[in-house]
Amino acid sequence: MDSRKFSFDGWVLDPESGDLERAGTRIRLSEQPALVLRELILGAGHVVTREHLIGVLWPKGVVDFDTGLNTAVRKLRSALGDIAETPRYIETLPRRGYRFIAALDPVAEPGPVPAVSPADLPTPVAEVTVSTGAGADAPAASATVAGAPGSRHASLRRWLPIGAALALVVGALGAALWLRVAADHAWRNPLASARFSSLAGFEGVGRGAVISRDGKFVAFLGNREGRNDVWVGEVGSGTYRNLTRGEQTKFRNNPEIRTLDFTADSSLVSIWTRSGDGSRPQDVNTLAVPTRGGPLRVYLAEVAEYNWSRDGRKLVFHTTAPGDPMYVREPGSADRLIYVAHAGVHCHFPLWSPDDAFIYFVRGVPTDGVWDVWRIRPSGSGLERLTTHNSYVAYINLLDRRTMVYLATSGDGSGPWLYTLDTERRVPQRISLGLETYTSLGASADGKRLVATVVNPGSSLWRLTLRAKDAAPATAPIPSLLSADGAAPRLGPGYLLYVAWRGDRQGIWTLTQGAPREIWSSTHSLIAGAPAIAPDGRHIAFIARDNDRTLLYVIDRDGSHARVLADSLALRGNPAWAPDGRSIIAAVVRDEEPRLTSVFLDGSPPLPLVAEYSVDPVWSPDGRFLVYSGADIATTFPLRGAARDGRPYPLPTLILTRGARRVAFSPDGQSLVILRGDFDHKDFWLIDLQTGTERLLAELPAEFVIGDFDVSSDGTELVFDRVEEHSRIALIERPG
């Protein structure tokens, strides 16, 4: 590999090691992205064809070049924070190739030190004075040598004290500069000396806590009597007022946006609301109620989230249209669109910087849990990606111009934890320890007070009997506990398959006649989605996330013969076995969009199956067609069908809400079992695929929150995971 280093826009690439470094941040590129970047740089300003790159990456031939090359470019863009739509580094030329468009900078490479003999040293002829630059009144460090003819050795002796003085001065300057730079760039935990305490005085479940800009008031969604209301209290008072008692509106806690907020002057508490199924623009609105109490009113119509500038004059907000279009509103001007993402990609938690120079936000795909922090100028220019978490990221707050605190999950999928980011250095640091995780975070304008919702999460497995074996319907079915720990259940012939944690290891388990057994686990990989059981019940497929890679595994039912079926595909959602058991259907990201693709067990090249946005396939019992989920728009997504050859399969219009992507077929294939309800509670419903009519299948207790489920092959029972969160609201006070 080329040993030369390349520099551009502050980045330095070492092609030999694959290290990509900028401002102290080092990213280790895998072999293929490093090769692609080297080839693009070598051809900077010119089109580098796909054929050329494929030949470089796979000189001996390739199984699936398009997917492999696209994956390499996607990983490269992710590392650089580049965007295909508005590229700074890599421009895509459809059906032709790519072009590197950034300016290259020279990189100084250390060279050999030349040998110098005394004969080569000049004879000093004048007085030399060297200043340390310590200040106008500080004495200068100087060395004075009288110029006089003599031997070369005498000249050398006269020059040695000057060289020593220069070395001392330069050394002192270098040390001072190093200390200054080190002090400026040393990482500091912004919450290192903060005091954590629980907000006292509220008995019940509190979620989505926020704090007013002046740091005096805290608001949250509280549940005391089986319904959510907006509560507010003055910090330190220990008393809280129910602001929405008696309102007919249902207030939901949406964990992917800032459900509550205070207006710029702290006089109102705003509330995100959704009516209907959220599919229409008018279904989502921001309402407001006075902090001191009063009537509820519309604050921002058809707006999901907003944020005021520090002076309260400029507003940034986004709607629920595809791509979450983001607008800026200023006095005397029409609303100005500054950014909109692709359909299915969301932009949440908009936030002005204290100097109004940037608008920060979180951008990602809810279905994949892949989010990161971005920023853009209020003019709509300068879009930048600041982090590469590729995980859940939410509730960004600025404590000062460059110190951000927010929530994010770590690489192993645990959390969310508290993180901090210097927005100039762009190196995220986790700042919370222990087992407690966080579901909301808010900060006052001066950054001295924060509030957070702290939770101890868990997930358990339950069974719900729908009818007896003789087909007699069960009366008022009551859930029964199967396992105190587990998620993503799937029913196989004679066993239950599920995912569970044991210490720091996440694994796949089977439950056979009440006996649990771990069949696969990893300390460094995260299982993405739910595992899939083959039609014969003897094999299991699942997707694991390992750093920036997604791996498609196949194992036997007992955990033996584990092998990686694909390691270069960008996989999303849940996989599903094809009816013949010879391939696995999974969503593969192509051209920035997940699309269902067949991945074959015999190593044949993957074949695209569905040409549009499609994830989470589920096959009908007879194998004639499958259903899949489309792109998220606002809080809803469509459910569509495809025949075995990928052609559209007719279905009634089906719109589901977020948190209900899992669907399952009834044994006869005529109906679908789905989840209907709010974010924090859903029941089981049945949809007739011929008529589209719906009926309640099973009602669950109010305290049950469902994550995933499956239906037995005879339709007599449901198994599901119950998500539980024991929460409290914490006040964080920073000194000074």
Give residue 117's pLDDT: 36
Kindly list the domain boundaries of the chain, sorted by start residue.
6-100, 195-456, 458-722
Would the pLDDT of 185 be above 90? no
Of 91, 66, 93, which is closest to residue 77 (Cα–Cα)? 91
**What pLDDT digit, counting tens, does each position of 348-359 carry?**
999 999 999 999
Mean pLDDT across 421-438 = 84
Q: What is the mean pLDDT of the chain?
A: 82
Would the pLDDT of 115 be above 60? no
**What pLDDT digit, counting tens, does each position of 706-727 carry?**
989 999 998 889 999 998 777 7
Q: What are 729's strand-pairing partners?
A: 453
Classify domain 6-100 at the CATH topology level.
Arc Repressor Mutant, subunit A (1.10.10)
Structure tokens at 352: 């002005």
At position 28, the amino acid (one-letter code) is R
Domains 6-100 and 458-722 share a fold: no
Classify domain 195-456 at the CATH topology level.
Neuraminidase (2.120.10)
Q: What are 355's strand-pairing partners?
A: none
Q: What are phi and psi of 497, to 5 degrees?
A: -105, 140
- Enumerate residues 6+ apart whose C-beta is below 8 A from 373: 360, 361, 362, 385, 386, 387, 389, 393, 396, 404, 406, 421
Confidence (pTM): 0.64
- Higher-confidence position of 50 and 292: 292
Give residue 563's pLDDT: 93
- Enumerate residues 6+ apart whose C-beta is below 8 A from 392: 369, 371, 407, 408, 409, 415, 416
Strands (E), 176-263: 195-198, 205-211, 217-223, 228-234, 241-242, 260-262
Number of H helices, E strands in the chain: 4, 55
Give residue 534's pLDDT: 97
Distance CA 322, CA 658 (A): 15
Give residue 305's pLDDT: 95
Give residue 104's pLDDT: 87
- CATH architecture of the domain with residue range 458-722: 6 Propeller (2.120)
- Higher-confidence position of 10 and 686: 686
Give residue 546's pLDDT: 78
User: What are the Cα distances from residue 700, in Å, to 184, 249, 408, 464, 516?
Assistant: 55, 22, 31, 9, 26
Distance CA 86, CA 476 (A): 56
Give residue 203's pLDDT: 63
- Enumerate residues 6+ apart whose C-beta is below 8 A from 343: 322, 323, 613, 631, 633
Structure tokens at 578: 């094809």
Mean pLDDT across 190-215 = 83
User: What is the pLDDT confidence band of residue 278, given thresholds at 50, 70 and 90?
Assistant: low
Would the pLDDT of 214 be above 90? yes
Mean pLDDT across 207-236 = 88
Distance CA 641, CA 469 (A): 31
Cis bond upstream, residue 416 (ω within 30): yes
- Higher-confidence position of 57 and 99: 99
